[in-house]
Structure 1
Amino acid sequence: MSDRLKFSPDILARLGEELVPDIDQGLIELVKNAYDADATECRITLHDATADGGSILVSDNGTGMSESAVRNGWLVLGRSSKTQKNLTPQYNRVPVGDKGLGRLAALRLGRQVTMRTRPRSDPGREFELVLNWDQFDAATLIEDVAIDITESPTDRPPGTDISIERIRGPIGRGPVNKLVRSLLLLSDPFSEEGKPEAGIRTDSTSDAVSPDPGFKAELVADEYADLQAKLGQSYFADAEYRIRAQLDADGQAHFSVLDWKGDTLHQATPSDLYDAPPFVFDLWVFILDGKSFSTRTSTMREVQDWLKHVGGVHVYEDAIRVPPYGGLGDDWLDLNLRRSRSPEMRPSTNTSIGRVRVANPLRRLVQKTDRIGYIENNAFLDMRRCCGDALDWASRTQVRERDKRRQAELEIVQQKTERATARLQAVLTKAVPTTERKKVDDAIDLYVKEKGHETKALREELQLYRSLATAGMTSAVFAHEIGRPLKLIDNGLQALQKMIPDDQQADAGRRIDRIIAAKARLNSFVSIPLNLLAKKKRRSGKTNINQCLAELVDLLAPIAIYFKVKLDLDLTDQYTDINGSEALIDGICLNLIMNSINAFQRNEFAQADRRIRIATTYDGSTVSVSVTDNAGGIDGLELADIWLPGVTTTPEGTGFGLTIVRDSVHDLGGSVRATALTDFGGAEFVVALPPMRELFK
């Protein structure tokens, strides 16, 4: 007795919307099908998408499908005829769609799907079928639902229309925004008009194959006209320079830096070989400051908004984008990490847009089953390594060029100084009597000597802050790298708890709680440098002191709990806005609070009730922040000396904390004073800052 496997309709949800949960990725698979059908255009039309029961129409002008292709291809899920490396018949394209699972997710967006297709090979005929998902959901087995394919005459041109009707819920602005981004990037907005894209085969082996005219995806959505308009924007001409890496079929790479016109500034051929398919990597880098955009037709705000939607490094396999590379939050080339390690001449995901165009006819790069990214095999890892090496080379090259310019400028300044000195001497010789010349020379020498002292002091301060910047970047790299292992600890603890016998859960729970508490403290320390170095925190403008303090205290809560310190917030409900950056306020208050916490650790001082009081006040002309502790006060140092760099009473301390506080307060136009011992039982620091409104009096 024999039988066969049967499938419940529930498998449709498992393979469709659960495997590919994002609306945009499901619809993108339908667009990829259009590309594989040698279409030059594909349009997605949203009708009443903001309400239940709307519809989505996906239309293309491709080759369409015969009845046999519909039965044996379109209706068969999970099997890909595209793994055989067959090129498309008309434009010799490498197929990019696969398996049909993404298509299933899109088709399941509505309660019914109507598909109409007109084959180029059989003009005048149209085939139509209807998928009613309610019938499938009510059936016991998938094969119980019959699907009829009807034929009718038509005078419409070849192509395919897929109408997804009675959509199951409204499609909000967020998913549509992602869809716009995906469509914009899908057909490679980087391509130059009239030039074939790398990755699209143009070496046709048959006279019947036509040159590929390209592929364009379009969105029509009346409810989201502003998002639809973004598909036509492009600001590549505003880039300051471009980094390029080309890998040939022999694994030899060629690196170059191009200016905004496309002319080569620097080039190199590295000695390393890379085991990856041929590709071209381009990264457009923008200098986002007012000076750079003063002579351009576009505004810095427009470019920033554009980069927000399309920035990052995207991957195109045979002219079709491969997600998630370059998507929101994806930094697969570690641009931001490289910048944090060595910020000089380094682009970030907020200041650049790039793409890797790869030809993959031999399928050395293998996409994952869910179509989200490549399996990280040797070919992928070497492609990523080559791109990273190009970024590092470009940074080194431009730093060297910048240093040469600085040295040349310094030599010019020295020459000008020598000429000015010679002119001064000539004027003095002519204008000053000999009897008075010594007095004038002595006065000039004294002035030069004092300016020399000032220059030396500034140079020492510059060296100090360079050292602090290096330490800050190092801690940021450490924080970034340690974040992933911390997540693994969470997963490991959860798995361990499940393995512990019930009779030992109580004892093990206490031990695990201690590990969790220690991890929370480490998490807090890791978050501090990343929080302080966040770009938005470094932007100067209207800043609310109370909000900064509340967020900082929340960030430090696990640390305070570990050291058994109570943080008391006493925030005024009056005006506390100042003109400055959150990073400066955070740096000031963090140093003062951590100084107090460290003071409690002194061996010679014991305090059972450890408290730090953080308060704000406003007297009509000054916003004040006070940090007071009961750690015994400042002892062993003169108050005037505590602000000096390198001065500390803590053996493990750096002595830079209060120096940073002093200089940061000065940068904000304020003042800071310290009291060695107060009635509260310890030291007090009071920072006084001008309020925002004072700036407009």
Structure 2
Amino acid sequence: MTDPKTANTIEDLQKALVDVLTKPQLDFAQLVDISTRLSRLDPDYVRFASDGGLIDRLGQELVARQETAVSELVKNAYDADAQEVTVTFVNAETAGGSLHLVDDGHGMNRDQLINGFMRLASNEKQAFPVSPLYRRARAGRKGIGRFSTQRLGRRLELVTQTADAAHAWKLSIDWTKFASGTDLHQIATRVEMVPKERVKGTTLNILGLRDRWTDAQISRVFRYVEDLLDPFPAAGPTLGFAPDRADTDPGFKAIFLRRTNNEERLVASEDRMVLEHAIAKIYAEVDADGKAWTTLVSGKLGLNEKEPLRLNDSESQTTFRYLRNVKLDAHYFIYDNELMPSQLKGRLQRLGNEQGGFRLYRNGFRVLPYGERRNDWLGLDEESRRRAVLPAVANFNWLGAISIVDPDHDIFFEVSSREGLAMNDAMAELIKFGHAVAVKCAMRIGSIRGRKTKAGGPARTPPRAQPTTPEVLRDAAADLRRDPHGWNTNPSSVLEGTAAPHSTPEQSTGQPGSMPTSQASSREVTSQLLVAAANEIEERDKEIEMLRVLSSLGLVVATFTHEARNRVMSMRDQLAILLADTTLPEESLRRIVDLRAATNDLKSYLGYFEHSLSEVQKRELEQQDVSALMYEFVRAFDPISKRWNISIETYIDEGLTSKPMLASEWSSILTNLFTNSVKAIKRAERDHGQILIRAVRTQNWIQVDFMDNGDGISHENWDRIFDPFFTLSATSLDDDLTGMGLGLKIVRDTVSSRNGQVFVIDPPENFQACMRVRIPADQSPSL
């Protein structure tokens, strides 16, 4: 018998291999070792080998931040068609704790576990771009999940089961064994059959956490995955109806918990981060007899009222002729600092702007386009614009769902294009029902809060036209020249309208018509100053008029942006229908997924543009949730940066709130800094550009460092770059990268106007330039 440990020739290794294969109990470790050593003696071919330390390096380099690692695991649950994932941090206040992720997705069988999770660089997500049940576009990055578990902790226990299996599979990995100097193929991981924990799903137990976890970091993970979540009330269990199709996507929920010394508390969820900040929860229904009821619940206002719905004041309760078994479930938001934390207000407003409204479900299956952005099927936006009802009632203020039961599809009919329901008597009643519930509940809450609920009062008399300031100044100057004796020459009195005749020269000197030379000279100087002031004001008026022209142009752009977004939404709906077609080949599905990704990028651009335009029109200064603004900016510009092969990394503290300013000012600051970084990176001809944005609270400042690995800024230009028309852009660059040299001046003027600071500092290692912006932080306590 040949000793496999000492065998080092082809003949000896062949004999050792035969010995191993003929033993009654096969030693797989020896089999793999001998086969690998034998392959290295191949005289004609060589093969790559992997060091065990590769796993550690990949974990650190592919998943640099711990928050990113957890978010990737949550995305994997979404890709597995999970409806819910619970993430629990146990004794994680210091390093050494544990992390447990439990999802109810489809799980894995043994083959999927070996050929998917245990296979480096698996092509599963390229081969199958949508999830098998709900046809979700894959959210997780390709093959990064296993490295996320290694980045987070020292050991992993994975338990997974599928619905059709009688047992589960358990995988136990000790990541400390993957050390440099050890062949990767020699490190074996135990897999065993165990009893099922539940019908289906996967559990990840990550033990020996490498880092501590704060509540702010856990909340940041929620931010990273919130685009996957559905903040609307569930159309199934909550409203009492089950979907009529098994492949109807019920939505995805993520719950983040913290357990310390066996005491568990909620850190982040949709309820915690979104829904609990609603001022009220509204339930309404039309029963089997057509009678309508509303229930209004508000912990903030101490309300719990159930009343019959009356469309007309003359009736005690409305009875619908066609509607039966309809249910409405909604959260009502008023974006007021008195009703929600100021640091969350901006993010919640943006959520309302993007997803606000009432979705419609028939037999548990969502009906498009109802509830999509800018779809005002209940007429709530129109009601808000009319201002007959004064409380906030627009779609922006609601996250809600209406569910109808129509099992035979004989009450509500789809239009021929399958985009919506035909307008018949039942649909007309449904619209009346939803509109009435929203308006009446909003007015009831407004009344309880002591707010005026209906428009009224005498009409205002328009003011008389007044002469312009330049006209007043020029008239005063002309009067001085015509009658030097008749006016008080104090310029302030002219502007205030209190100019009065002087005493006459006869009164002052006793000589008719005489005036001292010095007084005449003073009057001439005053007249010239008044004319100069009039000219300067006119120039400023011309600038204001130009701003009006630009504002009008902005309205035109906003209109076309809105229309473009509607077309994009329609395209996205059509692509969703194509993705649901199970007869299409995989190649076609991949192309559809790519097209939907491009459509989503376009939607993101248009959405950010539209939101920025709407913010520009605002005049009221408000505390700004800088953290949310920066996350929104990064999401909007991430596709652009990828097109230029530039990665954007962020380190953004939670709860950064600035003193009152405009959200559009932050958009301007960040956009100008971003475009300058892109131009610097392109000038440096980097193969891979890097931008790092760090935002932290330092004493009384919100401090934003914006750095890149471009061509840098020489010290002699540190001050000059803020001068108007100073630019480092070369004319040979593409048109979309050239600049006029006004961007950083705009940044400086904006920041200075808010008592802030902007300047250049020495960049950290691996970066060439760093701009630092400081804006005064809000000092008021959170509500």
Q: Which category of TM-score, normalised to the shorter sequence, fits these structures?
A: 0.3 to 0.5
TM-score (ref. length: structure 1)? 0.42
